Structure formats: structure tokens, C-alpha cells
């Protein structure tokens, strides 16, 4: 029997990507979808690519809760806690693609998001999960905080070096570039075509809300407080994130050893691919897939290790990772519904 899965917020980019991937899942059946803005319309009216594939009518949130075993929510921060509570009380798995359960420290959440936790006890039962780093915590989970796209790309890139103690935890600079879809489907001046086409610029410099999330994960593996410099940029492409992390090596380890260390760290992880010496990660070769490609580069002159990761922000950075988390939590093969091979051109 297939799992009945529902998506709240199905008309946003991440929500629509969830539907696209879940329609191809061998063990899941789309049971309900919702949207506040487009309630009463079919998803295929909003996204014509879904014609004859998902002509389901967009209902309200309660309809999704009543008709699903697993509930995904793709909503702005501040809207997921009450939904999570209803799922928890009714023994349904809840996976949040928003920010409400990502930060362990409520004071950090207040600082970066400007609001308090409404269901404080519920946060103790939530599991934050980049699957390659948090797999063992997913067993029996009922509330899963799906990581942000930038934290996914940065954490997968940096954690192995940090855990091995080969880089200086106090000197990490992260430079990330994201496709425009990362800003969501809502219209803004910055994502208006004439503004972002043929343009390339940073935004929210040193103030992006994913900063504390990255620091939270890196601190866990460094076993000490890690403070980073993080600057995101907007690329004039639809999808993809390329993260370049600049770190300082603490000893004169050879690049071949570093690559070997990374390959060992991710030896059993299907979706993280460590590139050979001389290769460079590129967003082109992870598009539409749940893969993260990582390349490693040593600057012999300065003693810096430069780590580059590439993901599709809509898949590994959002919907694909959410499904990977569901698969593991529900004891399904982690790659179910995610076996998409990136196109070559």
C-alpha cells in the first residue's frame, strides 16, 4: 500500500517541485494539495506542465491534514507550528520546508526572524536533517525540519574538513550564488526580469537568515562555536546553487589526502559525489537532481583549502531533500523517487 502524502503550499516553486517528484515516487500517492491563493483551481491550471499528471483541485490546509499520512509544508516562516502540532497529535509525519523548526536556539530565531516559538515543547521533538549528516536522528521522527538551500550546500562542503580538524574553524568565508527560483514565486523588484537578467550581485550581505543555520551545523561538528562570513549572490539562472568556501588549512596536508578524506566521509552516500583532483563542481551537472557535487582545491601559495559544492536549489536544496528525509524516516530506500540523472546539456 502506498503512503498517502499531501502538500500544503503546493503552488510555490518548492511546493510544485514536491508534487513533481512525488508523482514519480514508487511508494507514495498524492492524496491532497492546498493553496491559499489558488484554492478551488487545479494545479494544472497554475502549472500547465502538470496537465493530465496532476489535475487535482487545490483545497484548504485541513483537507490535506485529513487525507494524508505524511504532510509536507512549503510555507513562509511563522506558519508551520500549528500544522506541525495537528500532525503530531494525530501521529502523522510532518516535514517542514520552512524555517520554523530549523534553529535549536529560540533566541537566535528571535534575532534573525523577529518572532518567538509558539509551540515551544514541540521543538524538542523536531529533527533537523541534512540526511547525510543526520540520518541516525531520523528514526521515529514525527517532525522534520528540512534544511535551507544555502546551509545544505555549505554544510555538505565544509563538515568533513571541519570534523577531521584540517581547517581553522575561526576563519571560514562562504560565498554562494543561487538561481532566481530561490527567491520564491512572489514578485519582487530584484527578481523582475529586467533587473536580474544580465546582472550578478550580492544581496543581504552578512545579514542572510541562513547564516545562523550554517553556523549551527558547523559548530556541532567543530565541537565549538563557529562564526562565519556568508555572502549570497543572485545568479541570472532559474535554478542551482554554487557555493565556494574559503578555509585555512592547519597543516600542510596534500590535496590527494583531502580528496581521499572526503571520499571516505561520503563513501556510503549516493547523493554526494566527490570529484577527482582537477575537476570543478558546476551547477549544470546537478540540475533537476538530488545530487551534491563537491570539488576540492588547495592554494599551495596561501595554504588555503577552497571547497566548491553544486546543488539544484529546488531539489537537494528543498523538495528532493525533503523526500529523502521522508524515505529514511519511513524506512524506504532513500533514493526512492529521486533517481533522476542530470542532463548533460
Which residues does the annotation mark as catalytic?
A: 149
**Bridge partner list, 70:** 5, 93
Place of cell 531533500: 321
Closest CA to 282 of 326, 235, 328, 231: 235
Question: Cα(26)–Cα(270) distance, rounded to whole angstroms?
Answer: 18
Q: C-alpha 282: how far from its chain's center?
A: 18
Handedness of CA 76, 178, 341, 131 (dihedral sign): negative
φ/ψ region of 240 (left if φ > 0, alpha if ψ in -120 to 50, else beta) reads left
Q: What is the DSSP string of 277-343?
A: TT----GGGTTTSS-EEEEEEEETTTTEEEEEEEE-TTIIIIIHHHHHHHHHHTTS-TTTT--PPPP
Question: Dihedrals φ, ψ of 153, to 5°?
Answer: -65, -40
**Bridge partner list, 176:** 232, 243
Amino acid at each position: 500500500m502506498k503512503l498517502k502524502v499531501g502538500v500544503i503550499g503546493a503552488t510555490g516553486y518548492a511546493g510544485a517541485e514536491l508534487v513533481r517528484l512525488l508523482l514519480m515516487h514508487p511508494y507514495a500517492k498524492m492524496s491532497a494539495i492546498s493553496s491559499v491563493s489558488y484554492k478551488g483551481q487545479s494545479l494544472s491550471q497554475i502549472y500547465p506542465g502538470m496537465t493530465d499528471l496532476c489535475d487535482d483541485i487545490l483545497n484548504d490546509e485541513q483537507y490535506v491534514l485529513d487525507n494524508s499520512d505524511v504532510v509536507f509544508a512549503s510555507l513562509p516562516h511563522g506558519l508551520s507550528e500549528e500544522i506541525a502540532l495537528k500532525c503530531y497529535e494525530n501521529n502523522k509525519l510532518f516535514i517542514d520546508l520552512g524555517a520554523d523548526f530549523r534553529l535549536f536556539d529560540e533566541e537566535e530565531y528571535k534575532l534573525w526572524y523577529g518572532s518567538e516559538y509558539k509551540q515551544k515543547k514541540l521543538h524538542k521533538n523536531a529533527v533537523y536533517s541534512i540526511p547525510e549528516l543526520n540520518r541516525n536522528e531520523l528514526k521515529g521522527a514525527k517532525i522534520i525540519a528540512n534544511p535551507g538551500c544555502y546551509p545544505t550546500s555549505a554544510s555538505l562542503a565544509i563538515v568533513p574538513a571541519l570534523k577531521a580538524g584540517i581547517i581553522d574553524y575561526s576563519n571560514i568565508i562562504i560565498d554562494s550564488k543561487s538561481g532566481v527560483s530561490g527567491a520564491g514565486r512572489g514578485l519582487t523588484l530584484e527578481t523582475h526580469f529586467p533587473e536580474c537578467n544580465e546582472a550578478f550581485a550580492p544581496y543581504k550581505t552578512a545579514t542572510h537568515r541562513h547564516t545562523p543555520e550554517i553556523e549551527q551545523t558547523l559548530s556541532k561538528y567543530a565541537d565549538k562555536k563557529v562564526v562565519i562570513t556568508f555572502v549570497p549572490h543572485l545568479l541570472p539562472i532559474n535554478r542551482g546553487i554554487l557555493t565556494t568556501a574559503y578555509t585555512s588549512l592547519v597543516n600542510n596536508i596534500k590535496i590527494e589526502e583531502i580528496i581521499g578524506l572526503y571520499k571516505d566521509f561520503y563513501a556510503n552516500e549516493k547523493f554526494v559525489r566527490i570529484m577527482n583532483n582537477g575537476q570543478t563542481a558546476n551547477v549544470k551537472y546537478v540540475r533537476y537532481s538530488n545530487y551534491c557535487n563537491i570539488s576540492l582545491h588547495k592554494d599551495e601559495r596561501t595554504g588555503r583549502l577552497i571547497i566548491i559544492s553544486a546543488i539544484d536549489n529546488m531539489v537537494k536544496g528543498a523538495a528532493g531533500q525533503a523526500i529523502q528525509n521522508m524515505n529514511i524516516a519511513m524506512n524506504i530506500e532513500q533514493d526512492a523517487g529521486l533517481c533522476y540523472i542530470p542532463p548533460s546539456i
